[in-house]
């Protein structure tokens, strides 16, 4: 399925400016990996339609990410697009297929011992076109728009891994999620679809009301807690669950909230650590070991997930005909990328911020 010369040969792309934190530079550059006449045998040339932002992208841009990153790398990890050319040895995909790259390019099965996160250790996807090996790409679920599909590679797979990879989620379970960002709302969607009750915390009553609207016909399965007006939210969570802790906590604050999350969990419950959005201070962890032992809690780190787990999530999404348009808070044009990052930094959003690439932008390359 190779083409004699893939078209286009160049792309528009944003890169971080190593000399100026919080700065993006838009350039036109040759597409990576192209030989003189064709794509590498197992590579796909993908025209991107939508790119979803994560708070991780903000941390990397301002230089506060705890892991190594490319100094002038391309930001962002989550995207959806169309295969427009395929190398001669490609067998998993065809031209015209709708696809997303996996976030951790080193994690196909989940047993790999290294990591290559898009937008961090390797170049990301904030571009009009990208080239990926066919083993590091998945088909997007039928029925989703490109914008909806773009929210799945990080937030969706993280939510799935935090809830379901070990078979923990099921009807009647109670799940607590912190905040109203992308991972939290994907957990909400997946947990409600599985018949769980969900408790959501936020500092904003307005955001919590939006959560109830997103829950829709499942709103009676959702409880909310404003942790600003109720700082002992872990006690409120136990009260809302009839005096018993919850089954699963999706923990994204880090040291500032971990002990409260354990306190909110039932004996033999699970705390899935998916992020570190709060202020990190080791002093906040005093008493951690005794709390874990006392509650017999399983504390596990969630590092997104593998390609196989992404494909399992997509099967569930397709089978249930799940939609995610209500999780997209705001969309921006490709040329408005810096504004999109600024909006994400403002933390005014509920759900996901998405950048869409119009055809006229692609035709300019």
Number of domains within the chain: 2
The answer on 141 and 98 residing in a single domain is yes
DSSP code string of 307-350: HHHHHHHHHHHHHHT---GGGEEEEEEGGGHHHHHHHHHHT--S
We report the CATH number of the domain holding residue 194 as: 3.40.50.720
Among 4-13, 124-133, 245-254, which is the least confidently predicted range? 4-13
Q: What is the mean pLDDT of residues 71-77?
A: 94
Confidence category of residue 34, pLDDT binned at 50, 70, 90: low
Distance (Å, whole) CA 248 – CA 46: 37
Mean pLDDT of 30-39: 72
Q: Give me the chain's average pLDDT, please.
A: 92
| 277 and 343 share one domain | no
Asked if residue 198 belongs to a domain, the reply is yes
- Other C-beta atoms within 10 Å of 365: how many? 17
- Distance from C-alpha of 190 to C-alpha of 156, rounded to nearest angstrom: 9
Q: Write out the DSSP string of 229-247.
A: T-S-HHHHHHHHTTTS-EE
Q: Is residue 42 located within the same domain as residue 120?
A: yes
Over residues 300-341, the pLDDT tens digits come to: 999 899 999 999 999 999 999 999 999 999 999 999 999 999
Helix ranges (DSSP H) in the chain: 55-61, 146-149, 157-163, 182-193, 205-215, 233-240, 258-263, 288-295, 307-320, 337-346, 359-363
What confidence score (pLDDT) does residue 5 get? 40
Residue 170: inside a domain: yes
Asked if residue 62 belongs to a domain, the reply is: yes
Q: Is the dihedral of CA 174, 175, 179, 183 positive or negative?
A: negative
* 164 falls within a domain: yes
Exposed/middle/buried for 321, CB within 10 Å: 0-12, 13-18, 19+?
A: exposed
Quick check: is 361 in a domain? no
pLDDT score for 133: 97
For residue 183, which of 108, 252, 237 has the smallest C-alpha distance?
Answer: 252
Residue 265 domain boundaries: 157-301
Residue 343 sits in the same domain as residue 266: no
Furthest-apart CA pair in the chain: how many Å? 68
Domain membership of residue 34 (yes or no) is: yes
Query: Do both 294 and 330 map to the same domain?
Result: no
132-155 pLDDT tens trace? 999 999 999 999 999 999 999 999
Q: Which residues contact 219 (CB under 8 A, 6 or more apart)?
A: 212, 213
Q: What is the mean pLDDT of residues 64-83?
A: 90
Dist CA 137 CA 152 (whole Å): 13
Q: Phi and psi at residue 85, in whole multiples of 5°?
A: -160, 150
Residues 139 and 184 in one domain: no
Same domain, 52 and 170: no
* 74 and 44 co-located in one domain: yes
Distances from the Cα of 35 to the Cαs of 2, 152, 365, in angstroms?
12, 31, 18
Instruction: Say what the pLDDT of residue 165 is.
Output: 72
Record the tokens describing residue 343, joined without a space. 């909006």
Neighbours of 312 (CB within 10 A): 17
Whether residues 84 and 203 fall in one domain: no
The label of the residue with tokens 């921006």 reads 332
Residue 315 included in any domain: no
pLDDT for 168 beyond 80: no
Would you state the pLDDT for residue 63? 77
Q: Where residue 57 sits, what CATH number does that domain have?
A: 3.90.180.10
Tens-place pLDDT, residues 202-238: 999 999 999 999 999 999 999 999 999 999 999 999 9
For strands 328-333 and 352-356, give the pairing: parallel
Determine phi and psi for 75, rounding to 5 degrees: -70, 170
Q: pLDDT tens, 231-282?
A: 999 999 999 999 999 999 999 988 999 999 999 999 999 999 998 877 788 8
Is 99 in the same domain as 138?
A: yes
pLDDT of residue 164: 83
The verdict on residue 163 lying in a domain is yes
pLDDT band per the 50, 70, 90 thresholds, residue 64: confident
Same domain (yes/no): 136, 168:
no
Indicate whether 25 and 129 sit together in one domain.
yes
């Amino acid at each position: 399925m190779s083409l004699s010369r893939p078209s286009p040969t160049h792309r528009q792309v944003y890169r971080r400016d190593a000399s100026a934190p919080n700065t993006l530079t838009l350039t036109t550059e040759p597409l990576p990996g192209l030989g003189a006449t064709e794509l590498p045998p197992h590579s796909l040339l993908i025209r991107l339609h939508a790119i979803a932002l994560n708070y991780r992208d903000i941390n990397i841009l301002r230089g506060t990410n705890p892991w190594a990153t490319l100094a002038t790398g391309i930001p962002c990890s989550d995207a959806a697009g169309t295969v427009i050319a395929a190398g001669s040895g490609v067998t998993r995909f065809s031209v015209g297929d709708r696809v997303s790259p996996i976030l951790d390019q080193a994690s196909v099965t989940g047993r790999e011992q290294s990591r290559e996160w898009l937008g961090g250790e390797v170049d990301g996807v904030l571009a009009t076109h990208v080239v990926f090996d066919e083993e590091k790409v998945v088909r997007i679920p039928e029925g989703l728009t490109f914008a909806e599909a773009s929210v799945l590679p990080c937030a969706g797979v993280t939510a799935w891994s935090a809830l379901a990879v070990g078979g923990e989620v099921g009807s009647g379970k109670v799940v607590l999620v912190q905040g109203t960002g992308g991972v939290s709302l994907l957990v909400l969607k997946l947990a409600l679809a599985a018949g769980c009750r969900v408790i959501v915390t936020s500092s904003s009553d307005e955001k919590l009301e939006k959560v109830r609207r997103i829950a829709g016909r499942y709103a009676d399965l959702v409880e909310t807690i404003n942790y600003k007006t109720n700082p002992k939210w872990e006690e409120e969570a136990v009260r809302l669950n009839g005096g018993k802790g919850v089954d699963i906590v999706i923990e994204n604050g880090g040291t500032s909230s971990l002990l409260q999350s354990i306190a909110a969990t039932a004996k033999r419950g699970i705390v899935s650590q998916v992020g570190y959005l709060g202020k990190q201070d080791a002093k906040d962890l005093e008493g951690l070991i005794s709390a874990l032992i006392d509650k017999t809690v399983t504390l596990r780190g969630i590092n997104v997930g593998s390609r196989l787990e992404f494909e399992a999530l997509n099967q569930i999404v397709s089978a249930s005909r799940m939609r995610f348009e209500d999780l997209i808070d705001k969309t921006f044009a490709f040329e408005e990328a810096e504004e999109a990052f600024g909006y994400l930094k403002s933390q005014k959003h509920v759900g996901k911020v998405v950048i869409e690439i119009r055809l006229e932008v692609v035709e300019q390359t």
